[in-house]
Chains A and B, each alone.
Chain A
Amino acid sequence: MLTLFAQVHEPQAIRGLDVFLRENWRVLLPLLLGLVGVYLLLPRVKRFSPAIGGGIAGVGLVLATLWWTRYETVWVEQLLFYVFAGLAVLGAGLMLNQHNPVHAALSFALVVLSSCGLFLLLAAPFLMAATIIIYAGAIVVTFLFVIMLAQQGGFSNADLRSREPFLGSLAGFLLLGGLAVILHRGYSTTRLDAVLANLTTVANAKTNDEANAVLGDPASTEPLKLKDEIENSIPGLKANPEIEDQVSTLEANWKFQDKGDRDEKLAAMKKSAAAIAAYATAARMWHGSLPADKGREAEKRRAAAVLLEDKLQPGDKQREPEERRDAPGMPKHQPLPAANVAALGKTLFTDHLIAVEMAGVLLLVATIGAIVIAGRKTEGLR
């Protein structure tokens, strides 16, 4: 179960609060700003301008966008993602702040519409349409009807006060902090990128001194620091003895550079570094998804060729983009079908038939229940 996240090193206990804070401060600072902002935004009797809380929470959100989200594809999709995600979080924040329930219901409709935009970006057009119709159409309208039936004039306790605003916000942001730290540790590739940059420098080094600038002075008695970083940041290294051999070769060649032909040692170091870098490049693609397995020779060779700027030899196949391979036992990986409705219908009525029938029964029972509950007279109740 733990290997589903990219636990790149053995899971270790928190070494100390200061170390934890130093490693994860980019995750924690926007959370702290968000906590202060949301606490100020929650309704209270002596209201002050929502711009104060909104501003602080907005700064936290901007920092979170800069530091947490990473997007590596087409910029139009990136822009749409930021717009829809920003509107969704803005709508949720507004919902917390509004003291008029009608305004809050409209902010909820904004949240639903923005998250439907995100559904569309996630290749779920049927769910986008269904959610807009059901949520923003039926459910929000039902809410507005109930608000209309339950209306009171003037200010009321229900709208102007919050129950335990500080403890509530703290609980919410503790949960968000836990989730954000775990996501950051699982998916962050900063260390991997740094190691990859170092390895590429070594692989392209022209002289021993360039290589030693990255690896360190071979004459000193310290071991190779890069080796520690390699072992700690590239996932699945332990399952791959060939790459571990390459790491040992690199270290041996670096250490004993001066004892023998320096050029030969440099060539050997470059070769090892290139092989490890190729593996790390492949690892970066599927970082965060599945652990490594053996037997990816062609992929490693291709990646190594790209690194060392080899030309295609006659007889080589055209290089294809990296493909992700499936873990044993998991459903076969494929892109989602373009005919979303047809594929969804097919899988609903074959794989999930019983669930569909149960959902139908549930809808019927809920309808009957709602009519019975709302139609009762209140004399028997308190």
Chain B
Amino acid sequence: MTQMSPHTLESYLIVGALLFCLGMIGFVSRRNLILMFLSVETMLQGVAINLLAFARYHGNLSGQVLTMFILTVAACEAAVALAMIVMLYKSRQTLDVSVWQDLREPEQESIVDAEPLPASPKDPMPKLTPAGIEPAKKTKEMSHV
């Protein structure tokens, strides 16, 4: 199986395009900073499939070399972006990107969440069976020897 026919090439290019566009939709729509970044990485996977398909089709290793560089740059980008996400979280205590929306141009109307969130389910307190006399409260814990 040495050569690749153009029909197979088309199939691989479609898969690359699908991954790229799904990643783009995820980046534009999600509000969690980490999920936005994961969508960007999905876009990079789509591009990598494209490059490797053309490399196989033309029998040229340059596509694989460029994919390796994409991998390297994606690793660097992940490191720096995650460091920044950690800083942003420390600053506002949330991963929501909408809290930073005042960084936009001033004439844009801000996003306001219309529906309130449902109440978070509280963890129920565990029910213990009552067991006889309540022990006397100790002021200082004895160390276990």
Residues of A within 8 A of B75 (CB): 134, 138-139, 363, 366
Residues of A within 8 A of B74 (CB): 134-135, 139
Q: How many residues of B contact A (CB 8 A)?
A: 87
Residues of B within 8 A of A359 (CB): 69, 72-73
- Are A139 and B41 in contact (CB-based, < 8 A)? yes
Q: In chain B, residues 54-111, which have Cβ atoms closer than 8 Å to a Cβ of chain A? A: 55-62, 64-65, 67-69, 71-80, 82-87, 89-91, 93-98, 111
Q: In chain A, residues 286-307, which have Cβ atoms closer than 8 Å to a Cβ of chain B? A: 286-289
- Are A366 and B79 in contact (CB-based, < 8 A)? yes
> Contacts A92-B23, A112-B45: A363 and B76 contacting too (C-beta < 8 A)?
yes
- Are A95 and B39 in contact (CB-based, < 8 A)? yes
- Are A187 and B7 in contact (CB-based, < 8 A)? yes
B141 within 8 A of A: no
- Are A164 and B29 in contact (CB-based, < 8 A)? yes
Residues of B within 8 A of A343 (CB): 61
A183 within 8 A of B: yes
- Are A143 and B117 in contact (CB-based, < 8 A)? no
CA–CA, A287 and B115, complex, Å: 54
> Contacts A124-B55, A146-B86: A179 and B17 contacting too (C-beta < 8 A)?
yes
CA–CA, A357 and B59, complex, Å: 25
Interface string of A96-115 (1 = CB under 8 A from B): 10000100110010011001
A225 within 8 A of B: no
CA–CA, A155 and B95, complex, Å: 12
- Are B8 and A158 in contact (CB-based, < 8 A)? no
Closest to A337 in B: B61
A22 within 8 A of B: no
A73-81, A195-203, A250-258, A309-317 - the one binding chain B: A73-81
> Contacts A163-B31, A288-B6: A155 and B73 contacting too (C-beta < 8 A)?
no
- Are B49 and A150 in contact (CB-based, < 8 A)? no
Q: How many residues of A contact B (CB 8 A)?
A: 112
User: A180 CB to closest chain B CB, in angstroms?
Assistant: 7
- Are A158 and B94 in contact (CB-based, < 8 A)? yes
CA–CA, A108 and B120, complex, Å: 27
CA–CA, A249 and B16, complex, Å: 45
- Are A367 and B79 in contact (CB-based, < 8 A)? yes
Residues of B within 8 A of A152 (CB): 93-95
User: A50 CB to closest chain B CB, in angstroms?
Assistant: 15
Residues of B within 8 A of A285 (CB): 5
- Are A130 and B71 in contact (CB-based, < 8 A)? yes
> Contacts A92-B42, A176-B21: A142 and B71 contacting too (C-beta < 8 A)?
no
- Are B21 and A72 in contact (CB-based, < 8 A)? no
Partner of A159, one of B17, B32, B93: B32
CA–CA, A105 and B95, complex, Å: 15
Partner of B91, one of A72, A146, A351, A378: A378
Partner of A131, one of B10, B11, B60, B71: B71
Q: In chain A, residues 146-170, which have Cβ atoms closer than 8 Å to a Cβ of chain B? A: 146-147, 149-150, 152-165, 167-169
A328 within 8 A of B: no
CA–CA, A53 and B74, complex, Å: 31
A16 within 8 A of B: no
A70 within 8 A of B: yes
Partner of A286, one of B6, B13, B32, B67: B6
- Are B29 and A139 in contact (CB-based, < 8 A)? no
Residues of A within 8 A of B59 (CB): 333-336
User: A175 CB to closest chain B CB, in angstroms?
Assistant: 5
Interface string of A109-135 (1 = CB under 8 A from B): 001100100110011101100110011
A373 within 8 A of B: yes
A42 within 8 A of B: yes
- Are B45 and A111 in contact (CB-based, < 8 A)? yes
A319 within 8 A of B: no
CA–CA, A147 and B90, complex, Å: 13
> Contacts A81-B11, A154-B120, A155-B117: A134 and B71 contacting too (C-beta < 8 A)?
yes
- Are B35 and A378 in contact (CB-based, < 8 A)? no
User: B43 CB to closest chain A CB, in angstroms?
Assistant: 10
- Are B85 and A95 in contact (CB-based, < 8 A)? no
CA–CA, A179 and B19, complex, Å: 12
Closest to A374 in B: B83
CA–CA, A272 and B5, complex, Å: 27
- A–B Cβ pairs within 8 angstroms, 12 of them: A45-B118, A101-B95, A108-B41, A139-B41, A143-B82, A154-B120, A163-B29, A183-B17, A335-B59, A344-B61, A344-B64, A352-B65
7 further contact pairs, Cβ within 8 A, besides A70-B8, A127-B48: A131-B71, A143-B38, A163-B31, A163-B111, A165-B29, A179-B21, A331-B58
Top 5 A-B pairs, shortest CB-CB distance: A154-B120, A366-B76, A288-B6, A172-B25, A335-B2
